[in-house]
Amino acid sequence: MKLFLNRNFACMFFGRILTNVGDSLYAVAAMWLVYDLGGSTFYTGLAGFLTILPRMIQLLAGPIIDRLPIRKLLITTQLTQALLLLIIPVASYYGFLTVTLVLIISPILTTLNMFVYPAQMAALPSLVENDDLTKANSYFTVAYQGIEIGCNAIAGVLIVAIGAVSIYVLDSVMFLIGAILFSFLRVPAAPKNTSKESKSLPTFMRTYASELKEGVSVLFNKTLSKLLIGVIGINLVGGATFVVLPAFSDYKGGVEIYGFLLMAQAAGSLTGALLTPYLKLERFGLGKVYAYAFMVSGILWSVAIFSPWTWLVVTLYGLAWLPGGITNILINTVLQKGIPKNLLGRVFSAAYSVSGIALPLGSMAGGVLGVYIGSQYVIALSGIVVLCVGLIWLVDKQTRNLPKINEINESTFIKDEPKQIILTETV
């Protein structure tokens, strides 16, 4: 627990907890509010599309994150979100709350978060010792998933008790307190390449484009191209599943079931994060870890939906997310150890952006399919796709023979001849 004696880490950690409370409650309230106001999976699909669409432009945030002071960036984004969230309760009070207004506010809030999470991950190596990175990432993930479990567990009850609109007020307070905690941060400035520094706009734009290319170039290499395509496919069906969950929950019993399903999803990811340090997966090939993890996930994902008892549906669905919790811990640690600190912002932004590029399309497709074939079949089909991706990774020689995780270091990423590897995080 010595990490918590580090003031910077403690401020970042507890600030992240508070803002995660706001994010988690907001995610449940917003999706249910859209379903309640619109009455169709088409609107939840559209909400998912608009909310996730900013991930496609997150790629542009990398060079900005690498330049801006992390402390100022975190404070500004949290305060802006706090103000935006208050628009919904004000609109409800004066009688002009519509599904359109919710659909406008949601992507703006998500866009702000596109700066927050990569910035936090990029700053973490500057706040702790290199040997503590895995532990720090585990704390961050455990806290994130733990908060998500708690919030998802009570979100359904809160919506019934005080209404979805009132949750927006609570979220606003959480973001405000988070901003106050971030104000105590003292993050060391990242090293700059002074040879590229210039105040002229043309030079800045050329440098900006060069840095974007630098962040993206590590993504599209022959070695990991098939793994990247598979991750995009998994995220596509993940988006489809997320937007039909309100309709499926309504079919199963109501908003409380929605909260329990989201709680199970977070619990599965948390369990995976907690187990990661004890599984010693670093000694196995990266491709094999991905293949087996998501084969198991796909099977559980599909079987859960057609289970005869609601408690079994919730349990199996939660277990389906355990493999993702494991791989996310490993991925973040590998990136932070293998990428120079002055490149982390653009690389993490590129990773989040490319890995989530299919989410908006999946959200729209899931919303439309839910109208025609039903929400339960959309979720089952999504699980089958995840299973097939895992099988393809397992039989593909190139992916199966990827290096062991503990053998990946900075020389794996940066070489004279570009043989760069980047691992993307699944939703």
- The answer to the question of residue 192 being in a domain is no
Which residues, 6+ apart, have CB-to-CB distance to 154 below 8 Å? Answer: 259
Question: Does residue 22 have a pLDDT over 80?
Answer: yes
Structure tokens belonging to residue 373: 């074939």
Q: Tell me the CB-side half-sphere exposure of residue 415, using CA atoms within 13 A.
A: 11
Taking Cα atoms as reference points, which of 123, 105, 103, 126 lies closest to residue 115? 123
Taking Cα atoms as reference points, which of 108, 76, 70, 105 lies closest to residue 176? 76
Taking the C-alpha atoms of residue 171 and residue 13, their distance in angstroms, rounded to an integer, is 18
At 213, the amino acid letter reads K
Structure tokens belonging to residue 236: 């596509």
At 148, the amino acid letter reads E
Taking Cα atoms as reference points, which of 245, 28, 44 lies closest to residue 157? 28
State the total domains in the chain.
1
CATH number at residue 88: 1.20.1250.20
Within 10 Å of residue 415's Cβ, how many Cβ atoms? 10
What DSSP string describes 42-72?
A: HHHHHHHHHHHGGGGTGGGHHHHHHHS-HHH
Structure tokens belonging to residue 196: 């590229």
The boundaries of the domain holding residue 56 are 2-185+206-413
Task: Quote the pLDDT of residue 73.
Answer: 86
Task: Quote the pLDDT of residue 111.
Answer: 82
- The answer to the question of residue 418 being in a domain is no
Taking the C-alpha atoms of residue 111 and residue 109, their distance in angstroms, rounded to an integer, is 5
Q: For 210-236, give one letter per residue: b (16+ CB within 10 A) or e.
A: ebbebbbebbeeebbebbbebbbbbbb
- The answer to the question of residue 39 being in a domain is yes
Q: What is the pLDDT of residues 333-368, one digit of tens each?
A: 666 665 666 666 666 666 666 666 677 788 888 999
- The answer to the question of residue 385 being in a domain is yes
More confident residue, 401 or 370: 370
Task: Quote the pLDDT of residue 80.
Answer: 94
Taking the C-alpha atoms of residue 403 and residue 413, their distance in angstroms, rounded to an integer, is 12
At 171, the amino acid letter reads D
Low-confidence winner among 17-31, 197-211, 218-232, 301-315 (lowest mean pLDDT): 197-211
Q: Report, as an integer, the average pLDDT of 181-189.
A: 80
Within 10 Å of residue 159's Cβ, how many Cβ atoms? 24
Structure tokens belonging to residue 336: 């932070």
Question: Does residue 122 have a pLDDT over 80?
Answer: no
On whether the CB atoms of residues 62 and 212 are closer than 8 A, the answer is yes
Question: Does residue 108 have a pLDDT over 70?
Answer: yes
- The answer to the question of residue 195 being in a domain is no
Q: What is the pLDDT of residues 378-417, one digit of tens each?
A: 999 999 999 999 999 899 887 887 777 777 666 655 554 4
**Phi/psi at 285 (5° precision):** -65, 140
- The answer to the question of residue 258 being in a domain is yes
Taking Cα atoms as reference points, which of 284, 266, 221 lies closest to residue 423? 221
Taking the C-alpha atoms of residue 214 and residue 219, their distance in angstroms, rounded to an integer, is 10
Which residues, 6+ apart, have CB-to-CB distance to 103 below 8 Å? Answer: 34, 43, 46, 47, 50
pTM over 0.75: no
Q: What is the pLDDT of residues 282-336, one digit of tens each?
A: 778 778 888 899 999 999 999 998 888 999 999 999 999 998 888 777 766 666 6
- The answer to the question of residue 397 being in a domain is yes
The CA–CA distances, whole Å, from 427 to 266, 268, 310 equal 11, 13, 24
Taking Cα atoms as reference points, which of 347, 349, 343 lies closest to residue 422? 347
Structure tokens belonging to residue 224: 């990991």
Terminal alpha carbon distance of the chain: 28
The SS3 call for residue 120 is helix
Question: What is the 3-class SS of 260-288, one letter each residue?
Answer: HHHHHHHHHHHHHHHHHHHHCHHHCEHHH
Residue 412's Cα: distance from chain center in Å? 25
Task: Quote the pLDDT of residue 316.
Answer: 94
Within 10 Å of residue 368's Cβ, how many Cβ atoms? 17
On whether the CB atoms of residues 190 and 126 are closer than 8 A, the answer is yes
